[in-house]
Amino acid sequence: MDSGDNSFVLVSAALVFIMTPGLGFFYGGLGRRKNVVNNLMASFFILGTGMLMWLLFGYSLAFSGNTLGIIGTFQDAFLTKMTLETVSPYAGNLSALTFVGFQMMFALITPAIITGAVSGRMRFSALFLFIIFWSIIVYYPLAHMVWGSGGILGADGLGSVDFAGGNVVHISSGVTGLVLCLMLGRRRGYDNTSYRIHNIPFVALGAALLWFGWYGFNAGSALGANGQAAHAFMTTSVATAGGLITWLLVDVLRKRKPSLISACTGIVAGLVAITPAAGFVPVWAAFIIGITAGPVCYFAIMVVKKSLKFDDALDAFGCHGIGGIWGGIMTGIFANPAIGSAATPGLYLGEFRQFGAQFVAIGVSILLAAVGTLICAGLVRIFTPLRVETRDELVGLDISQHGENAYPSFTGLD
């Protein structure tokens, strides 16, 4: 084991951890005043639930053993076999517990992304159960298939690459959010033109924490303090900057004024799109990925969503689902094995194999997320309805689900 690499990855894990509360502030600011506590709680409860599940059996199902290339086994359940000297089978320079802790943070942020799509109308008890079922049925198997030893989509199977979670994190959560919001239906007052984002500084704070934490998310996925980590740091920077600026430019062309909300959303689009590619593509390609991700996600949110009239409340699908798909495709185009040896040459180097593998892996991720969501929702309905009653929705989920009011002096329903 290498003490420097362990230190670097542990710090990266802490950075990824702060992304989940940061997402809570991002979503909390975007939603209505009467639902801000609920939006924050949707991220915070996952910190406890997701950690316990991961340490008890989630890590084992994702990264220990192999069952048909689809899921792991229970051989590392409860982490009872890991000691201070146990080396990770996925990185010989790391303690096994360092790797477990780093990957645990990904298992937290992923289901938290889903909550933005159903903001303002899903029962908290239903959301609680759904996240538990979803982690078991969708996240752990997909993490194994893409990153686990013997997984059918990764190096031991199809050969697709996903540096830090384009498929595992963003496509899975984005597609799940889309399916779930379609099942729940639109919010009451969805077409109300008086609706306004309630706290723009919260949104900016959340975006800043996400960007800050994302350096651990991407650079830490090199699993060591090395050149690939530095490269992922720089590709993350340039792609995010590109997403921010192009989103602003499109917004100015349409509305004549640049908004802070647009800047924050562009940041997230750029971060999501570079995630699968960060350690596999040149810096100049990251620039292309970033500047194209902004308009692509903007179109998905401002044109496609409005045309089809589905209520992805806080644009989990538009940013994470579409951004993850775009990033995965771009990885197949610009992958260079000289940067990340796990990849094969992309289309720009004249080969098709990596590009084709990316498409198949994206398709499998979409299918697993969609079908898994339907199964999880069906299981939840055995115990409780998915959606709150009309009166509870109108009063707000802060009061109806948690008995709390973020702004005690506020008595309205917006």
What's the pLDDT tens digit per position in 226-276? 999 999 999 999 999 999 999 999 999 988 889 999 999 999 999 999 999
In percent, the amount of the chain with pLDDT more than 90 equals 93
Query: What is the pLDDT at residue 191?
Result: 65
Domain locations in the chain as residue ranges: 3-402
Q: Region 63-91: what's the mean pLDDT? A: 96
**Statement: residue 121 has pLDDT above 60:** yes
What's the pLDDT tens digit per position in 346-378? 999 999 999 999 999 999 999 999 999 999 999
Average pLDDT over the chain, rounded to whole? 95
Q: Region 13-42: what's the mean pLDDT? A: 97
390 and 186 Cβ atoms separated by less than 8 Å: no
59 and 51 Cβ atoms separated by less than 8 Å: no
Cα pseudo-dihedral 323, 328, 332, 334, rounded to 10: 50
Q: Region 55-82: what's the mean pLDDT? A: 96
Q: Look up residue 385 and give its two tokens.
A: 């309805």
**Statement: residue 414 has pLDDT above 70:** no
What's the pLDDT tens digit per position in 169-223? 999 999 999 999 999 999 987 765 456 789 999 999 999 999 999 999 999 999 9
Q: Region 114-136: what's the mean pLDDT? A: 97
335 and 281 Cβ atoms separated by less than 8 Å: yes
CATH 1.10.3430.10 correct for 3-402: yes
329 and 306 Cβ atoms separated by less than 8 Å: no
23 backbone dihedrals φ, ψ, rounded to 5°:
-65, -35
Q: Region 19-44: what's the mean pLDDT? A: 96
* Side chain identity, residue 182: L
31 and 410 Cβ atoms separated by less than 8 Å: no
- pTM of this structure: 0.96
Q: Look up residue 347 and give its two tokens.
A: 């289309």
